[in-house]
Every structure is written in C-alpha cells, then in structure tokens.
Amino acid sequence: MSDVPTYDAVVIGAGFAGLYAVHRLTGMGFRVLGLERGQDVGGVWYWNRYPGARCDCESYYYSYGFSEDLQQDWDWSLRYSEQPEILGYLGHVADRFDLRRHFRFGAAVEALTFDEPARAWTVRTGDGQTVTARFVVSAMGCLSAVNWPDIPGLRSFRGRLLHTADWPHEPVDFTGRRVGVIGTGASAVQAIPRIAREAAHLTVFQRTANWVLPARNHASDPGFDSWVKANYGEIRARCAASPGAVPFEAPTLSALEVSDAEREATYQSLWDLGGMRFFSAFTDLFSSLEANATAQAFVAEQIRKTVREPELARALTPTDHPIGVKRPPVDDDYYETFNRPNVTLADIRRAPLVEVTEGAVRTADAEYELDDLIVATGFDAITGALLALDVRGRGGVSLKRHWQNGPSSYLGLGMAGFPNLFTITGPLSPAVLANMPTAVEQHVDWIAGCLDHMHREGIDAIEPTEAAETDWVSHANEIVGHTLYPQAESWYFGTNIPGKPRRFGVYLGGFGAYSERCEAVAQAGYEGFRFTSGPNRAPR
C-alpha cells in the first residue's frame, strides 16, 4: 500500500474562496487538505499589505453570508475596510470554524497530475511532498500571480525594491525618503496618497492615466450597521440576483435620454456618494461611446477642478480609453495628492522609462534619484496562478496548451480534459466584475452540490465536454463584443503580460443571470459535463 496521503479533495489557497471551500467540504464529511503558500490564511489580503490597501467594495457586502451568526457578530470599523481589518476578519473566520487544522501553510503547489486509471490527482508541493486526491479545487484567486515587469536594470536597484502585491510584513517607513511608484492602477492609487504624506519626495511614473473615483470612506455608522444586520437576508438576496453581486438598484435610464441638467445631477450625487456606484448612473455606460463620453466629461471636469496646475490635470486625465472598461481605481485624495509640493508626475507615455539604475529611474528626458522604488504593476490575472503550476490533465496534456489561445472554461468552473479539477471564480466566470465573496460562495456551493450528487450516484469523475466549453467561450466572447471593453488594453484581456494571448477573461453576462444558468445546468443533470463511473465503464 502506498504511503502517499490520500484525500477526497485538495483545496489550493486560504483566501475567501479556499476558507469557505474547506469549511463547506469538510462539513459534508469529505477528507480535505488545504494547501497555502503563505504562512497563514488571508490570500490576497495576506500578501497585499501596502499602505492604503483596502477593499473597493463596502464591507457589509464584501463579507461572507453563509453564517447568520458570523454576519450578526462581526462589526466593521469603516465603510471600506482596510487590509489589516479584512485579514483579521479572515483569521476570525478560520478560528471560528476551526479551519486552520485542515491547512498546510508554506506549501506552494508546483504540479497537479491527473492519474487516469485512478481518476485522481497527484499534487506536488515545493517542499517535496506529494498527496493524492479525487478532486482538486483551485481557490488561488484571480489576482494573485505577481507581475514583475521586465524593465531594464530593475534588479540592479540598490535601494528598497518593493512590489505592492508582495509587500513586507514589517511596517515600511518612508519618512525622509525619495520614493518612486511605477504604475497607476488600483494598488498604486491606494498607496500614493499615503506614501506622499510620509515621504520626502514621491515620483509617480505613469504610463496610462486612469479614471479614479472617490471612495468617500468613513467610519461605520451604528445606525446603518443595525439596519444592515436586521436586513441581511434581503441584502444578500439582492447581491445574488444583481449583475455585479452588489445590493444596489440597477439603472433604468440611458445617459442620452435625460436632460443635461438631470444627467449632471445624477453623476454629481453618485460622485458625492463615492465608489463604484458611479457606474449605476445609466444603463448604457458600458455599451455606448456617446453615453460613456458624458461620464468621462464629468470626471475630467472633477480632475480639472481638483488639480491646480492645468498641465498636470491634463496629464492625469485619460484620453485613450472609455471610463470603466479598464478597472477604475477608487480612492480619496488621489488627485489632491498631486497638488502637494513633494509629489512629481513623470509621464512615461510622453518620455518613456529607459532603465532603472543602482539609485535612480531614468526616463527619456530625466533621471529621478530614489531611495525606494515601488513596483505597482499588478498581476498575471485570472489564469496566471494556475499557469504557474505544471498542470497535466488526461493524456498528459498541459493546461498551458489548453489555454494557449487564452482563457477557456465551461462556466468558469472547469476545463475539458481536466476531470475533477474545479476553479473557483475561474476564467470566464463573472468573478472580478462581481463582488468577490458572493461570487465565491456561489461557486463553492455549486461545487459542493455537484460533489454531493457524484457521491450519491457513485460517480468518479466529472469534466466539461469540449462542445460545452467551446460554446461557453463563444457566448462569453460574443457578449464582450457588444460592450466597450475591447476599447481598452487591460489585464481583463491579459494584454498587461507580454506574449499572453488577447482574450477577455471575465463573463460579462451578469452575476445573477450567470448563477441562474449554473443552477439550471445542475438541475438538468449537469448538462454540458460528462461523468465517468466505475472501473470499466465508458464516460456517459
């Protein structure tokens, strides 16, 4: 008998998705091993510890809904929680449901190999250990594979070189230092105002200006919190049914069918309210360039009003993409920060970054001497975490080959040729364009239902049919074609990673409609999937 430990399921990752998957599957009586490369739970909130790191969704719905006691007991201190509090919340969840004992920490998965005769996966970790499991659930997150840019000389920098997505666990003090930040995505936009308050000087290297929305963060309001707790059932139901898994009313009017004054008033009230709700102004902001242009004009005017130096305001105003189709950062005081005397914008679109030297960043027209260089260049999104592993499905076919033309899956849940491998918030699921914890719970619940069905029916293996996967990819791509998203290069398309095929990685059909589709698939006997049972039986 082999001494390789055997489990019913291996769950990779201990963030929102992995914790809930382990809780749900162990609750069903499965023997589950969680593997996590970090030393503790938290996932993205374990690694992204840069100053200002915070959630751009409001805490009361960016949280688990699976436990009534949990949601009644937990109190958030801010409208948008900061990283330490979210990490504390996930630690609390791990303690409360006794989840850590199912995990091995510091265990980075390196390879997944499907053993066809055994209909099980062999899972190898970087510490040289191997386990087998009937099922593997990837809970590695959509934004977890760190993207270090290929900038000449970057590694020769002698000061502190930091990446927002792999931040030190000790506090980093910028007092009196000359700091550079490369990038102006959501991470940089959160970090820049905080660092500017501390540093002697901050230089922001901007390749593409971003449309930034104000968060209007504030301390929790006890009255609102009591209302939330009394109405959580309805709030979660609204999230479950909405396109973005958020509890807000969908817009009903086109930006082009209201008067100028009405449009302006709508934008102003949502701007004052803060956050992504700005996009709930009108129905056609993501489908009509003309409608989108009205929102761009409104935000451009806010930038002009905020940034005192007109040339700087112009440089900070995007001109190359509609608002919203590249993930808009959310922060307070981002534009205001550029009025500070200790902040410089280096427009590296106009004067490109040439190289990093031992003590400076050199652009086509200047040299910026720095003590610290922060790289805020994001992630190899959506597929990056799984592609970093050596994943071999049936016939030894690699996932790299399966995804050679871009992200592909059926419902974002699995891939043909990779039986019993489930992806939570996988490629071509609504994932990153939906409120994550709600999306995670829906996926985990669906997977749990599927495993329960297989267990009761004595089924060994499940995988999507090639036809179902091909149809899903076509359907997802077709929807993208009806939107403005193709008008921006972004990590949604994978174009932030050199050589990555350009294909949209997210399902844009809306979270509510998507969940209904998943449910209908299950009700129809897991339509589009095929099952394998018993040692000698053919797939049915």
Closest residue to bound ligand N01 by CB: 185
Judged by CB, which is closer to ligand N01: 102, or 327?
327
Judged by CB, which is closer to ligand N01: 427, or 528?
427
CB of 350 to ligand N01, least distance (A): 13
Contact 137, 9 (CB under 8 A): yes
CA distance 120 to 107: 20
Judged by CB, which is closer to ligand N01: 420, or 438?
438
CB of 279 to ligand N01, least distance (A): 14
CB of 166 to ligand N01, least distance (A): 11
* CA separation, residue 239 to residues 59, 65, 216, 345 (Å): 13, 10, 22, 39
CB of 441 to ligand N01, least distance (A): 17
* 204 Cβ neighbours under 8 A, 6+ residues apart: 180, 181, 184, 188, 192, 338, 343, 344, 345, 346
Q: Map residue 196 onto helix, strand or coil.
A: helix
CB of 154 to ligand N01, least distance (A): 9
Burial class (CB in 10 A: 0-12, 13-18, 19+), 522: middle
CB of 521 to ligand N01, least distance (A): 27
Residue 29 zone, left/alpha/beta (φ > 0; ψ -120 to 50; rest)? left
Let me know the angle formed at the C-alpha of 154 by 149 and 157, rounded to the nearest 5 degrees: 150
CA distance 136 to 426: 13
Judged by CB, which is closer to ligand N01: 121, or 334?
334
Judged by CB, which is closer to ligand N01: 15, or 464?
15
- 511-523 and 232-241 helices cross at what angle (nearest 10)? 80
Judged by CB, which is closer to ligand N01: 122, or 164?
164
CA–chain centroid gap for 77, Å, is 23
Contact 518, 429 (CB under 8 A): no
Judged by CB, which is closer to ligand N01: 149, or 153?
149
Judged by CB, which is closer to ligand N01: 151, or 521?
151
* 127 Cβ neighbours under 8 A, 6+ residues apart: 106, 107, 108
* 341 Cβ neighbours under 8 A, 6+ residues apart: none
CB of 457 to ligand N01, least distance (A): 39
CB of 409 to ligand N01, least distance (A): 19
* 536 Cβ neighbours under 8 A, 6+ residues apart: none
Judged by CB, which is closer to ligand N01: 247, or 437?
437
CA distance 372 to 201: 10
Judged by CB, which is closer to ligand N01: 5, or 152?
152
Residue 488 zone, left/alpha/beta (φ > 0; ψ -120 to 50; rest)? beta
Q: In the complex, which residues of this chain contact ligand N01 (CB under 6 A)?
A: 55-56, 143, 149, 151, 164, 182-188, 190, 207-208, 327, 353, 376-379, 432, 491, 496
Contact 50, 378 (CB under 8 A): no
343 closest CA partner among 173, 200, 185, 191: 200
CB of 209 to ligand N01, least distance (A): 9
CB of 373 to ligand N01, least distance (A): 12
